[in-house]
């Protein structure tokens, strides 16, 4: 069974090459696999569609940097498109240092002006606030004391009509947060949900999903968008296919590779173990 | 032509990082060095912008607030005392304030968010769900698994020698193993999602610029050829005995 | 006098006061304390922002020494120092001088260097995790078998290729997430919350001093 031993000792670079091929192939030549819609996507869609009412104030927070963009950017774009179709006030804020420039990239693809939204009246960008959880808590207490000027025009918050009725967490109806780590959902929950009862929905990278489930189960978090596959499902529900739908075939083939390698690796292991006996 | 430079730069940096998959090489070191330098420098702009904006807000409205701002800046400057051994003790003061405030801010609600609310949710999980066999089974399992995991962490050492604790230990370990399997599955999703995102850029899939595809082919060829060529050259230079 | 200022009791006292200042107003309605706590939070945000140059100075110290001594890899240190200096200088919030987040060079570097590098740096783990799945993921005993089976089902459950062919995989992976994973994470969360409270109490009592270490003195 020397073949199995050779398989076990396969050059790592061949595995890397296989990973490349299994990712690049479906991107070059899409398989067009149907995308079954999961409950996660439906819950997220239904919450934004039915629970976000006209006149509500929504915090839209990109709690990630360039490292999280490939997985979180598609869901951020899709959700922004969804809430811009509603008559809500949007306050953009971030507690991650790269967040403002990630949002600038988002604005390049989804311009609120195209939806008839006026900056300063329908939406405002407060930029980055340093201080992690302390900053999140401070913003809940007082917007004006925590952020003096807006990020886009550098003018005092009091000069924008949208901020006339937004003073603290008591004036906010929903937090939509996209995140890759700390600060993130636990901080939002501690400072806004537990203290002020503000509902929160969270889009996160796959790695963070297991830790979010107890919050979903307890009802502290209203909806969860767990990763790229569900982003694609959401884009399908919105009838606005984007980067997530374009990439989901590659998710399938790459996961197929992982499953095959696990199976082959275990077969090789057990067969060489038999040989040694 | 000038418009193509940013695209070729993006592709160069992307492939520079990926070149580590072949072996350690100068392309990777260049990309890594650029990332390290620019990431550190970038944070400066956002932090200083915040301070400048804050001054134009509540802090410049009265003499008392201005004094408080000046005092805050003095404390803020104490961070830099860490670079001198004789003044290192001053560095602990702003650190103490930050740590204390951070602990206080989290402490006041952690007992609700991550303790009481979770226990209430656990207590409210009914053992029996009418008309839903799977729901009933799942709830019974949750009512067994959660306390088992908690007891597993709380009681260690000789307290696990008793017969009931041995059962609890087994249930807890199997539960956690299944949980870790779940974490593994989602980790695969995340890492491949990141790779797919970058690959979409390299292949020029919209909304990414289509010119990236040519840059990908050319730069990948140049990098691979240089690394493989160098290896072959070194092999010839130092023939095996 | 300076020996008195060096005493460890001062930062410990500062920690205790800062902590209590945040906790007390949440449970007791004392208006002056609440106002002080709210003000303290905004003070802290500025103190945190003031630390921004610590990283820059550390980078310059480490890599500056490397360049000076022409140690191994010193050429790359020049790139690091240059990158840090350019981003820090062009990003200074001096819009009157054309600097800041709207500066052309600053945006150019962020868009064409930081964005691809940041996105690529963590994606490389995909290759390592695939290699690890092939080499290390073995069903050697019951526990590792459970991890293997649960992990493989989760991987399949996240891929439409599998869930289209076998819809039951989606249900099983959802079950793994909602039952054993939820139980594990809830148990860990409750335990971690208790640990955090215990750590906070120890810090309040001045027993926990790990965050104050360094500088060659206690």
Per-residue pLDDT tens digits for B32-85: 999 999 988 888 889 999 999 999 888 888 899 999 999 999 999 999 999 988
Containing B223, the helix (H) or strand (E) segment is helix B212-237
Q: What are the Cα distances from residue A38, in Å, to A43, A74, B139, B185, C157?
A: 9, 17, 22, 17, 11
Report H helices in chain A. 2-8, 12-28, 39-46, 69-84, 99-109, 132-141, 143-146, 185-188, 195-196, 209-218, 228-238, 243-276
Domain assignment present for residue A32? The answer is no
Q: What are the Cα distances from residue C46, in Å, to B71, B222, C39, C147?
A: 11, 47, 11, 46
Q: Taking the alpha carbons of C1, C6, C9, C15 in that order, is the dihedral positive or negative?
A: positive
Alpha carbons within 13 angstroms on the beta-carbon side of residue B44 total 26
- CB within 8 A of C56, min separation 6: which ones? B40, B41, B44, C84, C88
Are residues A76 and A8 part of one domain?
Answer: no
Residue A49 Cα, gap to closest chain C Cα (Å):
24
Instruction: Give the residue numbers spanning the domain of B37.
Output: 1-56+205-241
DSSP state of A128: E
Which of helix, strand or coil describes residue A127? strand
Q: Taking the alpha carbons of C91, C95, C101, C107 in that order, is the dihedral positive or negative?
A: negative
Closest chain B residue to the Cα of C55, Cα to Cα: B40
Q: CB distance C38–A138 less than 8 Å?
A: yes
Are residues A224 and A136 part of one domain?
Answer: yes
Closest chain B residue to the Cα of C182, Cα to Cα: B179
Q: What is the pLDDT of residue C216?
A: 54
Q: What angle do CA B139, B143, B147 make, to 5 degrees?
A: 155
Are residues A131 and A19 part of one domain?
Answer: no
Q: What is the pLDDT of residue C217?
A: 47
Write out residues 35-74 of C within 8 Å (CB-CB) of A.
Answer: 38-39, 41-42, 44-45, 48-49
Residue C26, φ and ψ in degrees, nearest 5: -70, -30
Number of other CB atoms surrounding residue A139 within 10 Å: 26
Q: CB distance C134–A66 less than 8 Å?
A: no
Domain assignment present for residue A7? The answer is yes
Residue C197 and residue A195: Cα distance in Å, rounded?
18
Containing A58, the helix (H) or strand (E) segment is strand A57-63
3-state DSSP of A245-274: HHHHHHHHHHHHHHHHHHHHHHHHHHHHHH
Pick from C26, C49, C118: which is nearest to A65 by CB? C118
Domain assignment present for residue A33? The answer is no
Are residues A211 and A189 part of one domain?
Answer: yes
The pair of structure tokens assigned to A152 is 């886009």
Edge to edge, the sheet with strand A223-226 lists A123-128, A89-94, A57-63, A174-179, A200-204, A223-226
Count of structural domains within chain B: 1
pLDDT tens-digit map of B179-231? 999 999 999 999 999 999 999 999 999 888 999 999 999 999 999 999 999 99
Q: What is the pLDDT of residue B240?
A: 57
Q: What is the pLDDT of residue C13?
A: 93
Q: CB distance C122–B93 less than 8 Å?
A: no
Residue B4 and residue B6: Cα distance in Å, rounded?
6
The residues with which A125 forms a beta bridge, in sequence order, are A92
Domain assignment present for residue B88? The answer is no
pLDDT tens-digit map of C42-100? 999 999 999 999 988 998 899 999 999 999 899 999 999 999 999 999 999 898 898 98
Q: What is the pLDDT of residue B239?
A: 67
Domain assignment present for residue B171? The answer is no
- Conformational region of residue A135, where left means phi above 0, alpha means psi within -120 to 50, and beta covers everything else: alpha
Cβ A262 vs Cβ A35: under 8 Å: no
Are residues A48 and A21 part of one domain?
Answer: no
Question: B107-111, B118-122, B146-150: which range is least confident on average?
Answer: B107-111
Residues C108-117 as b or e (16 or more Cβ within 10 Å = b)? ebbbbbbbbb
Q: CB distance B113–A193 less than 8 Å?
A: yes
Alpha carbons within 13 angstroms on the beta-carbon side of residue A1 total 15
Q: Within an 8 Å CB–CB cutoff, is residue C101 touching chain A?
A: yes
Chunked into runs of 10 residues, chain A (277 residues) has average pLDDT values of: 78 93 94 93 97 96 92 95 96 95 92 96 96 95 94 93 96 97 95 96 96 96 95 94 92 96 92 77
Domain assignment present for residue A30? The answer is no
Q: CB distance B38–C117 less than 8 Å?
A: yes
Domain assignment present for residue B231? The answer is yes
Q: Which of B65, A133, A168 is nearest to C22 (CA)?
A: A133
Are residues A21 and A75 part of one domain?
Answer: no
Are residues A268 and A220 part of one domain?
Answer: no
Provide the CA C131 distance to its chain's centre, in angstroms: 26
pLDDT for C157 beyond 50: yes
Number of other CB atoms surrounding residue B237 within 10 Å: 7
The predicted model gives C201-210 an average pLDDT of: 86
Q: Within an 8 Å CB–CB cutoff, is residue A168 touching chain C?
A: no
Residue C204 and residue C218: Cα distance in Å, rounded?
18
- CB within 8 A of B109, min separation 6: which ones? A190, A191, A194, A195, C26
Are residues A168 and A223 part of one domain?
Answer: yes
Contacts of C127 in chain A (CB under 8 A): 15-16, 19
Q: CB distance B197–A147 less than 8 Å?
A: no
pTM of this prediction? 0.92
Q: What is the pLDDT of residue C218?
A: 44
Percent of residues, chain B, with pLDDT higher than 90? 77
Q: What is the pLDDT of residue C215?
A: 60
Instruction: Return mean pLDDT, chain B.
Output: 92
Pick from B50, B57, B197: which is nearest to A69 by CB? B197
The pair of structure tokens assigned to C115 is 């964005």
pLDDT for B241 beyond 80: no
Q: CB distance A16–C101 less than 8 Å?
A: no
Are residues A269 and A234 part of one domain?
Answer: no
Instruction: Give the residue numbers spanning the domain of A259.
Output: 2-25+252-276
Contacts of A254 in chain C (CB under 8 A): 126
- CB within 8 A of A151, min separation 6: which ones? A92, A100, A125, A126, A127, A128
Domain assignment present for residue B84? The answer is no
Are residues A265 and A173 part of one domain?
Answer: no
Domain assignment present for residue A218? The answer is yes
- CB within 8 A of C95, min separation 6: which ones? A154, C102
The pair of structure tokens assigned to A43 is 């819950």
If you write DSSP's letter for every residue of chain C in order, what string do you get? -HHHHT-THHHHHHHHHHHHHHHHHHHS--HHHHHHHHHHHHHHHHHHHHTHHHHHHHHHHHHHHHHHHT-TTHHHHHHHHHHHHHHHHHTSS-GGGT-STT-HHHHHHIIIIIHHHHHHHHHTHHHHHHHHHHHT----SHHHHHHHHHHHHHHHHT-HHHHHH-HHHHHHHHHHIIIIIHHHHHHHHHHHHHHHHHHHHHHHTT---GGG--TT--
Are residues A268 and A196 part of one domain?
Answer: no
The pair of structure tokens assigned to A129 is 């606030």
Residue B187 and residue B165: Cα distance in Å, rounded?
32
Domain assignment present for residue A146? The answer is yes
Residue A180 and residue A130: Cα distance in Å, rounded?
17
Q: CB distance C177–A251 less than 8 Å?
A: no
A146: domain CATH number is: 3.40.50
Closest chain A residue to the Cα of B122, Cα to Cα: A218
Count of structural domains within chain A: 2
Chain A neighbors (3+ CB pairs < 8 Å):
B, C
Domain assignment present for residue B115? The answer is no
Cβ A72 vs Cβ A180: under 8 Å: yes
Residue A42 and residue A53: Cα distance in Å, rounded?
18
Q: Which of A74, A83, A60 is nearest to A235 (CA)?
A: A74
Domain assignment present for residue B44? The answer is yes
The predicted model gives B151-157 an average pLDDT of: 89
Percent of residues, chain B, with pLDDT higher than 70? 99
Closest chain A residue to the Cα of C41, Cα to Cα: A138
Domain assignment present for residue B25? The answer is yes
Q: Within an 8 Å CB–CB cutoff, is residue A33 touching chain C?
A: yes
Residues C182-204 as b or e (16 or more Cβ within 10 Å = b)? bbbbbbbbbbbbbebbeebeebb
Domain assignment present for residue B236? The answer is yes
Are residues A236 and A149 part of one domain?
Answer: yes
Number of other CB atoms surrounding residue B211 within 10 Å: 15
Residue B94 and residue C212: Cα distance in Å, rounded?
11
Residue C94 and residue A218: Cα distance in Å, rounded?
47
Cβ A35 vs Cβ C160: under 8 Å: yes
- CB within 8 A of C72, min separation 6: which ones? none
The pair of structure tokens assigned to B118 is 């979770």
């Amino acid at each position: 069974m020397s073949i199995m031993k050779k398989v076990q000792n396969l050059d790592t670079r061949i595995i890397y090459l296989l990973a490349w091929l299994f990712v690049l192939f479906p991107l070059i030549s899409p398989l067009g696999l149907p995308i079954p819609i999961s409950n996660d996507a439906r819950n997220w869609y239904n919450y934004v569609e039915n629970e976000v009412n006209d006149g509500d104030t929504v915090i839209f927070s990109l709690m990630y940097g360039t490292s999280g963009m490939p997985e979180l950017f598609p869901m951020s774009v899709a959700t922004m498109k969804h809430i811009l179709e509603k008559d809500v006030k949007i306050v953009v804020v971030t507690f991650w240092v790269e967040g403002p420039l990630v949002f600038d990239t988002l604005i390049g693809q989804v311009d609120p002006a195209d939806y008839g939204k006026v900056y300063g009246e329908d939406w405002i960008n407060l930029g980055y606030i340093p201080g992690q959880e302390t900053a999140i808590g401070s913003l809940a207490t007082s917007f004006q004391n925590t952020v003096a000027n807006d990020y886009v025009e550098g003018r005092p918050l009091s000069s924008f009509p949208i901020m006339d009725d937004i003073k603290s967490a008591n004036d906010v109806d929903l937090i939509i947060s996209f995140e890759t780590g700390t600060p993130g959902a636990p901080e939002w929950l501690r400072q806004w949900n537990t203290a002020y009862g503000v509902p929160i929905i969270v889009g996160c990278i796959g790695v963070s999903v297991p830790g979010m489930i107890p919050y979903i189960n307890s009802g502290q978090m209203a909806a969860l968008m767990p990763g790229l596959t569900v982003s694609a499902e959401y884009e399908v529900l919105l009838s606005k296919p984007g980067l997530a739908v374009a990439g989901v075939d590659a998710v399938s083939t790459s996961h197929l590779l992982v499953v095959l390698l696990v199976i082959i690796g275990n077969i090789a292991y057990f067969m060489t173990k038999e040989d040694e006996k | 032509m000038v418009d193509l430079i940013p695209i070729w730069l993006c592709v160069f940096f992307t492939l520079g990082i990926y070149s580590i998959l072949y072996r350690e090489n100068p392309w990777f070191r260049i990309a890594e060095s650029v990332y390290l330098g620019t990431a550190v420098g970038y944070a400066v702009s956002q932090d200083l912008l915040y301070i400048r904006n804050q001054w134009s807000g509540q802090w410049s409205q009265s003499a008392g607030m201005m004094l408080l701002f000046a005092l805050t800046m003095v404390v803020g400057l104490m961070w830099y005392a860490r670079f001198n051994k004789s003044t290192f003790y001053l560095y602990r003061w702003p650190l103490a304030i930050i740590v204390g405030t951070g602990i206080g801010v989290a402490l006041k609600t952690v007992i609700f968010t991550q303790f009481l609310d979770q226990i209430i949710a656990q207590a409210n999980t009914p053992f029996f769900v009418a008309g839903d066999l799977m729901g009933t089974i799942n709830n019974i399992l949750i009512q067994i698994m959660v306390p088992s995991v908690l007891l597993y962490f709380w009681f260690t050492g000789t307290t696990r020698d008793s017969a009931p604790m041995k059962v609890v230990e087994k249930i807890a370990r199997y539960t956690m193993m299944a949980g870790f399997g779940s974490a593994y599955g989602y980790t695969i999703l995340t890492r491949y999602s990141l790779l797919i995102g970058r690959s979409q850029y390299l292949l020029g899939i919209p909304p990414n610029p289509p010119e990236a595809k040519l840059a990908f082919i050319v730069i990948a060829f140049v990098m691979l050829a240089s690394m493989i060529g160098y290896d072959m050259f070194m092999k010839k230079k130092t023939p095996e005995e | 006098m300076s020996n008195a200022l060096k005493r460890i009791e001062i930062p410990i006292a500062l920690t205790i006061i800062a902590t209590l200042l945040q906790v007390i107003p949440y449970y007791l309605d004392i208006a002056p304390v609440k106002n002080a706590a709210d003000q303290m939070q905004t003070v802290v945000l500025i103190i945190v922002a003031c630390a921004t140059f610590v990283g820059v100075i550390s980078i310059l110290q480490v890599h500056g020494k490397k360049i000076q001594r022409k140690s191994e890899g010193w050429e790359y240190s020049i790139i690091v120092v240059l990158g840090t200096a350019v981003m820090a200088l062009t990003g200074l919030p001096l819009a009157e001088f054309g600097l800041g987040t709207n500066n052309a060079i600053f945006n150019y570097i962020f868009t064409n260097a930081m964005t691809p590098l940041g996105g690529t740096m963590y994606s490389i783990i995909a290759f390592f995790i695939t290699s690890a799945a092939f080499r290390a993921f073995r069903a050697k005993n019951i526990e590792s078998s459970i991890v293997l089976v649960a992990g493989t089902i989760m991987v399949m459950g996240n891929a439409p290729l599998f869930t289209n062919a076998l819809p039951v995989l989606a249900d099983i992976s959802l079950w793994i997430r909602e039952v054993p994973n939820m139980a594990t994470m809830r148990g860990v969360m409750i335990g971690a919350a208790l640990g955090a409270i215990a750590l906070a109490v120890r810090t309040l009592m001045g027993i926990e001093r790990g965050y104050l270490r360094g500088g060659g003195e206690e």
